[in-house]
Amino acid sequence: MSSLSKPARRGPAPYTNPYLAGIGLGLVLLASFVVMGRGLGASGAFSSACAVAVDALAPAHAQANPFWKEYLESGVGHPLKEWLVFEVLGVLAGGFLSGLLAGRVRRTVEKGPRISTGGRFAFAFVGGALMGIGAKLGRGCTSGQALTGGALLSAGGWAFMLMVFAGGYGAAWFLRRQWQ
Amino acid sequence: MNAPLFKFGLFGDEFSLVVAFLIGIGFGFFLERAGFGSARKLTDQFYLKDMAVFRVMFTAIVTAMLGLFYLGWLGWVDLSLVYVSPTFLWPQVAGGLLLGVGFVVGGYCPGTSLVALATGKLDALAFVAGIFAGIFAIGEAWPAISGFAESSALGRLTLPEVLHLPAGLVVLLVVLMAVGGFWGAAALERRFAGRGAGEGS
């Protein structure tokens, strides 16, 4: 529609070289160690939000469960004024900024060529649920355990990371029709 | 320099949230730059077509590890004040396996799903909803499964302690492993790039 009034739009920019992106990510992680004395994370912020939701709906029930209680008692005066919650808000902002600069912000559904959109949503939801469970058992996800724990030479972090790759490669064959 | 700066009281809890937001911006920015807002780019790792996940992750690990080790050696960072999440061996083995399967089923991990969401991927919205459902389920089940979930608690445990090797040597081994992995990744990509499911064998 507006293609005539605008100069031909260039496609999305190519991704950054993985080694350069890795150095950038590593320097952000190093900055977190030096400034805060802690690494990066993601899944913990989801837990804080989940605990606050459970507490809002059923306060007595939430307080009786040590899992929710721990998240409800953390944070700077409020469970959502929590370090990882603010870090994750930054991740959303930083991801959006990078995508905007590269022309990659576009409403779309990422899927393989042979799966329907509804099927993709169902798989995404189930995969997310497995991640939620796995991240709580593992005390973190790819960010908090594999990346941060990996750089700190944490024994649990390395065991976790190796199992993530094992689980991924083990499942890949069964799910090849979704992606390839 | 006395670091970690926060642990030496350079700023308080309220300001630490500003720092969290800024560090998060850097984190999300480089994840998106690497292409990790795309489920297909991420899952290609598990079909050996594009090993960017391995390359980015291990370059980041080596960068941060070498930087921190060096700053600790210079005496600028007190490494004992850097938080290492305690090890719960068997729950973490099980959790890692579930997470790996979830990665291929869902296409993202928690951090990358946020970057995907921020760049408009609607499937990432379903994935994020799934994360909340999974956390809600395990949170509710926690009292029943805490016998396993809190087992093999080994506290703050690092590879140099497990292997009885000096930290510097373990750092060197990780660097060598990463470089060997980068070389192997290129070889695998040459072999598997362009191959679809069911073709070849």
Residue-level pLDDT, tens digit, chain A, 180 residues? 444 455 555 688 999 999 999 999 999 999 999 999 999 999 999 999 999 999 999 999 999 999 999 999 999 999 999 999 999 999 999 999 999 999 999 999 999 999 999 999 999 999 999 999 999 999 999 999 999 999 999 999 999 999 999 999 999 999 998 998
Distance between CA atoms of residues B124 and B127, nearest Å: 5
Distance between CA atoms of residues B143 and B80, nearest Å: 32
Instruction: Quickly list H helices, B107-166.
Output: 110-118, 122-149, 159-163
Task: Please identify among residues 156-175 of chain A the ones whose CB lies closer than 8 Å to any CB of chain B.
Answer: 156-172, 175
pLDDT at A11: 83
Grade residue B193 by pLDDT with cuts at 50, 70 and 90.
confident
pTM: 0.94
Q: Are the Cβ atoms of A132 and B134 closer than 8 angstroms? A: yes
Decide if pLDDT at B67 tops 70: yes
| Residue keyed to tokens 């370059």 | B59
Q: Are the Cβ atoms of B28 and A159 closer than 8 angstroms? A: no
Instruction: Please list every residue in chain B whose beta carbon sits closer than 8 Å to the beta carbon of residue A15.
Output: 33-35, 41, 52
Task: Write the residue in A42, A96, A120 that is nearest to B111 by C-beta.
Answer: A42
Grade residue B196 by pLDDT with cuts at 50, 70 and 90.
low
Tokens of B157: 């445990």
Task: Please identify among residues 139-178 of chain B the ones whose CB lies closer than 8 Å to any CB of chain A.
Answer: 139-140, 142-143, 146, 149, 154, 156-162, 167, 170-171, 174
| Residue keyed to tokens 């977190």 | A32
